[in-house]
């Protein structure tokens, strides 16, 4: 298999086909980076 991120962003909208909050350090980093773009 191949690992990949299933996500899409369109302006202020972000959708993922997984639960980043349950994806350990990588998911936390994704959420932190996204929140950083909102500031």
Which pLDDT score, from 0 to 100, does residue 26 have? 86
CA distances to 12, 22, 30 from 2, rounded to whole Å, are 28, 20, 19
pLDDT of residue 2: 92
Can you give the pTM of this predicted structure?
0.57
- Three-state DSSP at 30 gives helix
Q: What is the pLDDT along the chain (39 residues), one digit of tens a residue?
A: 998 878 898 988 888 888 888 888 988 898 898 889 887
DSSP 1: -
Token code pair at residue 20: 């980043």
């Amino acid at each position: 298999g191949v690992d990949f991120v299933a996500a899409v962003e369109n302006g202020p909208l972000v959708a993922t086909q997984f639960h980043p909050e349950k994806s350990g350090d990588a998911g936390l980093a994704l959420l932190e980076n996204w929140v950083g773009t909102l500031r």
